[in-house]
Amino acid sequence: MGEKFSKEKYKQQIQSFQPKQSIFVSCMKAFIIGGLICVVGQGIQNFYISFFNFTATTASNPTIATIILLAALFTGLGVFDKLGQFAGAGTLIPVTGFANSMASAALEHKSEGLVLGVANNMFKIAGAVLVYGVVAAAIIGFIRYSITTILLS
């Protein structure tokens, strides 16, 4: 039989095949691309404020919806994946990262059918995020309600 590899030997063997990139360069790419995504989001919000007479508060929901739509569209076109490979964590801004994961799951499983493939696998990813989001919102709401009740008593 062959020689058994230890974890250390395996790590040494694969190191030559792994790309070398400094942490500083990775952080700068993530910072710049993440910042550009935020600048685009701010531009979209300013568009809604200027052309539809929204306030900053009322423009936030259509801005988020537009960013989700753009992220899903760019995922379908393959642009978001290339951007993610370049920027790394810079594309994980919650709204765009969530839209990318949902659209990727839908595209990956479309051959299995609309319900059992697309919808089922999209909500496997979304389910955990939604559950934790709702639970966290409920806990924070309860804490805020409790603190407000105590302070006003």
Lowest mean pLDDT of 17-26, 48-57, 80-89, name the range: 17-26
pLDDT (mean) for 27-38 = 92
Q: What is the pLDDT of residue 62?
A: 95
Q: Are 112 and 50 in contact (CB under 8 A)?
A: no
Q: Are 70 and 37 in contact (CB under 8 A)?
A: no
Share of the chain above pLDDT 90, in %: 38
Does the structure show a pLDDT above 80 at 127?
Answer: no
Residues 6 or more apart in contact with residue 126 via CB below 8 angstroms = 98, 102
Q: What is the pLDDT confidence band of residue 114, given thresholds at 50, 70 and 90?
A: confident
Share of the chain above pLDDT 70, in %: 95
Query: Taking the CA atoms of the chain, what radius of gyration do you get in angstroms?
Result: 22
Lowest mean pLDDT of 38-47, 76-85, 103-112, name the range: 103-112
Q: Global pTM? A: 0.67
SS (HEC) of 13-50:
HHHCCCCCCCHHHHHHHHHHHHHHHHHHHHHHHHHHHH
- Compute the distance between CA of residue 86 and CA of residue 34 in angstroms, rounded to an integer: 11
Q: What is the pLDDT of residue 132?
A: 79
pLDDT (mean) for 76-96 = 85
Question: Which residue ranges make up each domain of the chain?
Answer: 21-152
Measuring CA to CA, which residue among 39, 49, 92, 99 is closest to residue 70?
99
13-17, 81-85, 100-104, 138-142 — which one is most confidently predicted on average?
138-142
pLDDT tens-place string over residues 2-21: 566 688 888 777 877 777 77
